Structure 1
Amino acid sequence: MEHLEMKQKVTIMVAIMSSMLFAALNQTIVGTALPRIVSDLGGIQYFNWVFTVFMLASSITAVLVGKLSDIYGRKRFILTGLGLFIIGTFLCGTAQDMIQLIVWRGVQGLGGGMIMATAFSAVGDLFSPRERGRWQGLMGAVFGLASVLGPTLGGYIVDHFDWHWVFWIFLPVGFAAFYLILRLFPQTPSGAKKRIDYLGSVLLALTIVPLLLAFTWAGDAYPWASWQIITLFSFSLVSFLLFLWVEKGAESPVMPLYLFKNSIFSLSNVISFFIGMGMFGAVMYMPFFIQGVMGTSAAKSGIMMMTMTLGMVLASAVAGHFITKTGKYKKIALFGLLIMTGGMALLAGMDAETSTLTVILYLILVGLGLGMAFPIFNLTVQNAVSHRYLGVSTSAVQLFRQMGGTIGVAVMGSIMLSRMNAKVESTSLPPSLADHPASEGLADIDPQILLAPDQLAALRAPLPPGMEAALDSFLSVLRESMNAGLSAVFWLGCGIMALAFLCTLFIKEIPLRTSNQEPPQGEIGGEEPSSGTAGKGRHRTREAEAHG
């Protein structure tokens, strides 16, 4: 689609970014509104599934559609994804109980995975790698914009309107994006029709789903060493081994294993995995510090987190423009990861006495680093492989990033709870408070009560005025306990980002191509290997081409 006029390309990109904004806003707006939805529908025991089912569905469809869009073109999949997302979004607003909401969120996830997989690949169809930096930076800014608008708008809607409008308010954006893509996006199949790898697709799903479920439930629903978690890990491992065996002989594998022979492809996916862990660590656990340790309100916490998002949006747009102008990307990635590593180290050194301004500056620093590094590794992968692998390579990066986020949040959560509980167990109530009849049960308080101002107020109510100082002393110990757990989380995030920095040092920077038809240096070219002797011969030829 490089031959299209720039005006048409820009119009298509507006439609693609509208699709992404539609999907991203529906993700970020739900978090703020969910407490109100749960109070209306009930079923708080299924609370986590509202997010988990979306993550599972989108992870599977993203990686499967990546390969299929290389064969059949992007248009039909982004339209199908938008259609499913629109239907799922509308039905979410009609949910009568939590189970219905979870089912419709699954439909949303199927559509969301298709949208994300095809949107980033479509940029590669429209523009050469040299031109993509600017556009991928803007697409990264779309996510940042959704992170700013979504929570704020979600809170306003549930406070002033019915919660159902959280899902319905952006439906016109989805319809507009669907119409623009239907009218303007050309249908351009990327390659010859091949037999669909159904068995490989099933085995890949059976590898990813149990793995993500295990990390999601471990340390929360079940202990890490429980038979449920061990069974999920074992099932995932067996499925993975079978997947490797099947893919070696598949005519058109859903995830071509020979792509991993390209060091740029492999390292970029590893780095994306680390960035996912670090990014979600900062996004998920900073509100715990702001609200729990600093004692700040949820509304003010949202405003403070917004500064990190704005830093990410600014850095993403500027870095993308610089990459398009200069054709250089490695130094920007290294600089961004170095800034984010330093920012995570600064977060790890915070305590209850840290000022609001200092926290905001640290968050801006993390956002700037993340904005520089986040979009680059889509570009490095797309530039290093043949255009025929654009969809599957792009979806692989998204899959590794999302798995990194899921696994990182689970591991960091376990570390935080372990450190926090160990600190609490070594703490006792002040004598003046322990002897008072109204203090019964205080010693068993979970530090997470610091995140619930109404529960803290209920604790103070039965105590006489003279006992408030003793309670404040005990709560300060709880804040120290939570701070100890969060410090461990941020130090882990710092180490993970340092690993991402080290891996980036080993990425070979090859010139960004100025055309999609121009073969890249180190490209994985040639025909896809097939089973049998002929396939092995072609595989050897392809390897020879790939390694010069």
Structure 2
Amino acid sequence: MQDTTSRRTAERLSPEGAADGDPPRAATSESLFSGANGIYAAALTGGVVLHAINIFLTATVMPSVVTDIGGLDVYAWATTLFVVASILAAAMTAKLLRGLGPRGAYLVAALFFGSGTLISALAPSMPVMLVGRSIQGIGGGFLYALAYAVTRIVLPQPLWGRAIGLISATFGVATLIGPAIGGVFAEYGAWRAAFWSLLPFVALFSLLAATKLPGKSATSGETAPIAWLQLILLAAAVLVVSASSLSTDRLLNIAGLAVAILLTALIGRAERGAGARLLPKGSFSLSSPLGVVYLTIALLMMAMQPDIFVPYLLQTLHGQSPVLAGYFAALMALGWTAGTASSVRLRRGDGGRLILAGLLLVLVGIVLFGVFMPVKSDGALLIVTPVGVALFLMGFGIGMAWPCLVTRVYQYAPEAEQDVASGGMTTVQLFAGALGAATGGMIANLAGFADPGGAVGATSAAFWLAAGSAVAPALAIILVLRIAHLAAGKANRAEAPAT
């Protein structure tokens, strides 16, 4: 078994198309989209598109849902439970992939996603809708995490960066498609049809996975223990921080965030020496390059916290219509897509310069946001244009750094824990996003977003949201420089002659 795994690893790590003794050929976009690679790329991105469109489609039709079946008092839980389920599923992706291989894992993901979608479409009441959304979240978490995990199995290493860039780009495009489709259904009050519309694509995706993805990988059939304690602590942290962020009580906001941080620290403690792990060894240590990379990913996700307030701030402070405000908010997603495409084209070496450049662009974008968004206007171009530029720069910077960070996770993770590293990457991303949203809500409430509210509260909230968000990329820049230092030290030790 070990020889087979080593041989497959060597094949996977060898440059694409290079036979023994031949010079390696550079990976190109054409090689990613040609032959079997093209089919694999379609499967990987197809799952992400389903997950992403569902997120934004559902967000658009939920007001129509509560109008029809009630449940306004638990409105936010339709998203909260979906996110919690997605995080838990992402954390269990390694076990699913080891047990069933790429084909079986994707079919299970599609089954959960399709079942949850069907329940949501038929829901007669909000409690049933919450059940459907939770099951959808499990499927969505699997689909998203599997895209990263299966990339390293079915594609050669030179194509990993391009495949990851494609996955990120399709997620960005879905942020435009989802609200547009949802808006059409919402306008006619046909929210059930929005969920029904996803099912044919789930069926087509399942057919593609069943017929084109490999049934086994080097680790198929192996057992992977489940980190039950860490999963419980993780779910508790997300639920606590999400629930507390819904309150207008400032003390409850702060207490919820504090409890979430404490639970996160307990996860790190439980991971030490644990037989069943959520993340690979070294992920909770700043003396490990892998730990630094994971923390950088988390900080990037937390830097996006102003985005959820953009529509409200633009309508309240700059007189923009809901439609225009929504598309302004989508500029960050468009920037992410454009930044990812640029990263794939411009990357040289390990991509360290692109990561640093991306973080600097994120910081510049947040500063522009903090300068222009709080200035009340009647929609003057001199004010709203820099706001749009700020949002685009924030997304562009994240997109530029993202493929390089993801490939570094593969690079630094131990070979035996590659599948755990892939699932862990999605777990970190989703958890940090939930924590960032809750932190943003807390900052906004403390700044007067709800009290005194109105233009005065919005102005204060816009400034302090930017100030709080700027901390994340600033810390990430320090971490990236630390990665370079740690990597250089490791290389020097490896080259040092034995004594």
Task: Provide TM-score, normalisation by structure 2.
Answer: 0.84
C-alpha distance in 2 between matches for 1:25 and 1:234: 31
How many residues align structurally? Answer: 458
Q: Which runs of 5+ in 2 are unaligned?
A: 1-7, 18-33
1:468-488 deviation digits (Å, cap 9, x = unpaired)? xxxxxxxxxx31321111210
1:139-172 deviation digits (Å, cap 9, x = unpaired)? 1011111101111221111113611111121222
Partner of 1:36: 64
C-alpha distance in 2 between matches for 1:482 and 1:99: 33
Matched, 1:499 2:498: no
Is the contact between residue 133 and residue 321 of structure 1 (CA under 8 Å) also seen in structure 2?
A: no
Partner of 1:489: 465
C-alpha distance in 1 between matches for 2:430 and 2:213: 27
Is the contact between residue 17 and residue 139 of structure 1 (CA under 8 Å) also seen in structure 2?
A: yes
1:215-270 deviation digits (Å, cap 9, x = unpaired)? 112253384655995996599479637734xx6252x5454435556722101110
Identity of matched residues, %: 22
Matched, 1:340 2:367: no
Partner of 1:271: 296
Matched, 1:308 2:332: yes
Q: Give the letter for the 2:481 counterpart.
A: L
Q: Which runs of 5+ in 1 are unaligned?
A: 425-446, 448-477, 512-520, 524-542
Matched, 1:117 2:145: yes
Partner of 1:240: 267
C-alpha distance in 2 between matches for 1:99 and 1:156: 25
- Stretches (4+) displaced over 6 A: none
Q: Give the letter for the 1:134 counterpart.
A: R
Matched, 1:16 2:41: no
C-alpha distance in 2 between matches for 1:171 and 1:59: 23
Matches within 5 A, 1:129-144: 129-144=157-172
* Gap change, CA 1:481 and 1:70, over 3 Å in 2: same
Task: Provide TM-score, normalisation by structure 1.
Answer: 0.76
* Gap change, CA 1:102 and 1:419, over 3 Å in 2: same
Which protein shows a greater Rg? Answer: 1
| RMSD, aligned CA | 3.1
Q: Give the letter for the 2:36 counterpart.
A: Q
Partner of 1:462: none
* Gap change, CA 1:256 and 1:307, over 3 Å in 2: closer
Is the contact between residue 213 and residue 232 of structure 1 (CA under 8 Å) also seen in structure 2?
A: no
Partner of 1:183: 211
Partner of 1:539: none
Match of 1:508 among 479, 484, 487: 484
Is the contact between residue 257 and residue 438 of structure 2 (CA under 8 Å) also seen in structure 1?
A: no
Match of 1:164 among 192, 204, 224: 192
Is the contact between residue 278 and residue 424 of structure 2 (CA under 8 Å) also seen in structure 1?
A: no
* Gap change, CA 1:253 and 1:240, over 3 Å in 2: closer
* Gap change, CA 1:317 and 1:486, over 3 Å in 2: same
1:447-473 deviation digits (Å, cap 9, x = unpaired)? 2xxxxxxxxxxxxxxxxxxxxxxxxxx
Match of 1:52 among 62, 76, 80: 80
C-alpha distance in 1 between matches for 2:261 and 2:343: 42
How far 1:52 moved relative to its partner? 0.4
Q: Give the letter for the 1:99 counterpart.
A: P
1:119-140 deviation digits (Å, cap 9, x = unpaired)? 1111111233332111111110
C-alpha distance in 2 between matches for 1:202 and 1:119: 24
How far 1:176 moved relative to its partner? 1.3
Is the contact between residue 319 and residue 372 of structure 1 (CA under 8 Å) also seen in structure 2?
A: yes
Is the contact between residue 129 and residue 382 of structure 1 (CA under 8 Å) also seen in structure 2?
A: no
- Once the two structures are overlaid, the 10-residue window that deviates more, 363-372 or 68-77, is 68-77
- Once the two structures are overlaid, the 10-residue window that deviates more, 162-171 or 127-136, is 127-136
How far 1:293 moved relative to its partner? 1.4
C-alpha distance in 2 between matches for 1:148 and 1:130: 30
C-alpha distance in 2 between matches for 1:83 and 1:72: 14
Is the contact between residue 85 and residue 107 of structure 1 (CA under 8 Å) also seen in structure 2?
A: yes
C-alpha distance in 1 between matches for 2:400 and 2:449: 36
C-alpha distance in 1 between matches for 2:101 and 2:421: 15
